[in-house]
């Protein structure tokens, strides 16, 4: 533990990043500039916890809130990039590029990689729904590399990486880069919906998979589909998204499904696998009332944020005007889901007449730098439109992890967390206190203040930042104890988004699964 009042000071720090776990090795010696070195260690920690999988505790729902007063919850809509759309229909093989797909930032190659698809309404079946690949150095300007993989209109000078089996349109490609698979030929894994043996629905169609060493050259699994569609509620359907749960080591797919009496309306189902080939029986995880307030859904993408799982659900307004916008959902076990902010719209449609005024579909959300990125496909008309509609792809951004905040005005608000265990190191907060302040105190499990960590001893935070270091007069870190603690935050004219209390911190009585190593 770093002791600001000690005579022996840390002069060397080694950080190893294993998954989302940060291990500090500190060797003590007679370093004179203790405050500067402590700041260096924390600055390195701040940089590492920008990762999507970092164990931030976010106030998206009330999971962490034990008590609160004079606090309001605020859902933050992401800001659409002014250069949108970033990918347009400006090459012959991309008549309607849209965001059934996945974006990642590949640290190994220092580049953004994007797998998506197009709907080419004027093309024959084999060329109508190609899966495509693009790259970018900044996430804004995208390049379609000439891959030489798939022929289109007699030429392979395009960025097509995969086509359907030739019987029917394909849908919903999703990609994972799996660095822990010992087989380099399976480094990249893809799912998509297709008809491998014919064009008859609920006989020939289902979820297909493919593998690749480089994300460009793909090998279709010979026994596709790995999971068939059925005419029942516990069945997958043709809008899908895949993720790798780093806690369980399982691959998880969320898809559109159909409610009983089948097919009454759309809902969300889930299936999982340990090998990407054999999948569990689908289970319904999000149901709808099928009314104007809670109509139905058209798929959901899911991303893991520490102990949180954040879902972007496509809300299909039927009954209603048949538009599709995006709402926020959250889970703490990747199975049980809660709707956020009373189902308020998270990503709204564009203004009437704009490129995204009819429907929006999203890639899984992820962090990069100081921002949270959401790539999305927009259509300029509704699902049921009889008029031609067109699609493009854009970007929306939030402050890092800035989905929902707890806000207080001139009257100080307080929020006390549930008891926490397995905490360690500095306490960081994501807060905008530029016109106000934040202080924190630590309580024992029974709610009594812990000496040395009281509100009076806390140094106030009075700026805006995504990872402020909370300190007390004589303590720079959380206490070195195995006993559970609670944190009480006091904010005034400020917005608090979340806190970080170590790579293994969890709420008491929540089981911790081993990470996939």
Asked if 9-76+404-507 and 79-399 have one fold, the answer is no
Looking at the structure, give the CATH architecture of the domain made up of residues 9-76+404-507. Answer: Sandwich (2.60)
The confidence score (pLDDT) of residue 41 equals: 87
pLDDT in tens, 474-507: 999 999 999 999 999 999 999 999 999 999 999 9
148 has pLDDT over 70: yes
At residue 277, what are phi and psi to the nearest 5 degrees? -115, -45
CATH fold for domain 79-399: Tachylectin-2; Chain A (2.115.10)
Confidence grade of residue 454 (pLDDT, cut at 50, 70, 90):
very high
> What are the pLDDT digits (tens) for 184-229?
999 999 999 999 999 999 999 999 999 999 999 999 999 999 999 9
Q: Is the pLDDT of residue 28 over 80?
A: no
| Choice between 429 and 17, residue whose per-residue pLDDT is larger | 429
- For all residues of the chain together, what is the average pLDDT? 92
Domain spans, the chain: 9-76+404-507, 79-399
**pLDDT for residue 21 is more than 90:** no
Residue 9 pLDDT greater than 50, yes or no: no
167 neighbors 200 (Cβ within 8 angstroms): no
Enter the tokens of residue 310: 């954040």
Structure tokens at 11: 């002069």
pLDDT at 390: 97
**How would residue 31 be classed by pLDDT, with cut points 50, 70 and 90?**
very low
Instruction: Please write the tens of the pLDDT for every residue from 253-289.
Output: 999 999 999 999 999 999 999 999 999 999 999 999 9
pLDDT in the model for residue 6: 36
Rounded Cα distance between 455 and 491, Å, is 11
**What average pLDDT does the segment 135-156 reach?**
97
Give the model's pLDDT for residue 42: 87
3-state secondary structure 434-453: CCCEEEEEEEECCCCECCCC
Contacts of 287-295 with CB under 8 Å at 24 or more apart are 287/259, 288/259, 290/259, 290/264, 290/265, 290/319, 291/319, 292/319, 292/320, 293/343, 294/343, 295/265, 295/319, 295/320
Strand partners, 12: 27
What pLDDT is stored for residue 72 in this prediction? 98
**pLDDT band (50, 70, 90) for residue 513:** very low
SS (H, E, C) 62-77: CCCEEEEECCEEEECC
**336, pLDDT greater than 90:** yes
The per-residue pLDDT for range 50-99, each reduced to its tens digit, is 999 999 999 999 999 999 999 999 999 999 999 999 999 999 999 999 99
**% of the chain exceeding 90 in pLDDT:** 89
For 465, residues 6+ apart whose C-beta sits below 8 A from its C-beta are 430, 431
Q: Is the pTM of this model over 0.75?
A: yes
pLDDT at 29 over 90: no
Please tell me whether residue 25 adopts helix, strand or coil conformation. Answer: strand
Nearest residue to 416 (alpha-carbon basis) of 393, 434, 441, 436: 441
The rounded distance, in Å, linking the Cα atoms of 57 and 500 is 6
Give the confidence band of 307 by pLDDT, cuts at 50, 70, 90. confident
Task: Please give the backbone phi and psi of residue 498, each rounded to the nearest 5 degrees, phi first.
Answer: 175, 180
377 - beta bridge partners? 361, 393
Percent of the chain past pLDDT 70, that is, above it, reads 91
Residues facing residue 22 across a β-bridge: 17
């Amino acid at each position: 533990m770093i002791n600001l009042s000690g005579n022996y000071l840390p002069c060397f720090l080694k950080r190893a990043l294993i998954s989302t776990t940060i291990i500090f090795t500190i060797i003590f010696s007679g370093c004179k500039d203790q405050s500067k070195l402590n700041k260096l260690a924390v600055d390195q920690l701040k940089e590492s916890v920008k990762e999507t999988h970092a164990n931030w505790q976010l106030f998206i729902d009330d999971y962490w809130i034990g008590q609160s007063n004079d606090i309001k919850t605020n859902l933050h809509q992401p800001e659409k990039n002014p250069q949108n759309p970033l990918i347009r229909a400006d090459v012959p093989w991309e008549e309607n590029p849209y965001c059934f797909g996945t974006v990642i930032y590949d640290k190994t190659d220092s580049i953004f990689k994007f797998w998506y698809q197009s709907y080419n309404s004027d093309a024959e079946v084999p060329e109508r729904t190609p899966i495509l690949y693009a790259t970018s150095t900044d996430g804004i300007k995208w390049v379609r590399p000439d891959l030489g993989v798939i022929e289109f209109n007699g030429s392979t000078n395009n960025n097509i990486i995969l086509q359907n089996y030739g019987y029917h349109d394909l849908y919903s490609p999703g990609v994972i880069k799996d660095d822990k698979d010992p087989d380099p030929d399976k480094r990249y894994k893809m799912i998509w919906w297709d008809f491998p043996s014919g064009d008859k629905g609920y006989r020939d169609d289902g979820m297909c998979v493919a593998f690749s060493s480089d994300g460009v050259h793909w090998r279709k699994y010979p026994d596709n589909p790995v999971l068939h569609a059925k005419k029942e509620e516990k069945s997958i359907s043709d809008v899908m998204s895949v993720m790798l749960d780093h806690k369980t080591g399982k691959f998880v797919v969320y898809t559109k499904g159909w409610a009983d009496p089948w097919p009454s309306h759309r809902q969300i189902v889930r299936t999982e696998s340990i090998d990407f080939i054999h999948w569990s029986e689908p289970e319904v995880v999000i149901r709808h009332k099928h009314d104007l307030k809670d109509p139905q859904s058209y798929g959901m993408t899911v991303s893991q944020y520490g102990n949180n799982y954040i879902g972007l659900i496509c809300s299909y307004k039927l009954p209603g005007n048949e538009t599709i916008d995006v709402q926020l959902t959250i889970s703490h076990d990747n199975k049980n889901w809660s709707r956020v902010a009373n189902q308020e719209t998270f990503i709204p449609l564009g203004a009437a007449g704009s490129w995204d005024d009819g429907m929006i579909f999203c890639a899984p959300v992820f962090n990069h730098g100081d921002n949270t990125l959401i790539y999305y496909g927009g259509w300029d008309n509704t699902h049921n439109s009889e008029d031609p509609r067109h699609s493009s792809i854009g970007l929306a951004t939030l402050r890092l992890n800035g989905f929902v905040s707890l806000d207080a005005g001139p009257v100080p608000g307080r929020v006390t967390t549930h008891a926490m265990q397995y905490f360690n190191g500095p306490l960081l907060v994501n807060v905008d206190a530029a016109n106000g302040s934040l202080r924190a105190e630590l309580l024992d499990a029974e709610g009594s203040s812990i000496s040395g960590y009281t509100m009076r001893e806390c140094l106030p935070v009075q700026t805006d930042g995504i990872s402020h270091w909370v300190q007390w007069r004589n303590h720079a870190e959380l206490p070195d104890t195995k006993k559970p603690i609670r944190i009480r935050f006091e904010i005034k004219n400020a917005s608090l988004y979340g806190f970080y209390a170590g790579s293994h911190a969890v709420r008491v009585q929540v089981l911790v699964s081993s990470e996939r190593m």
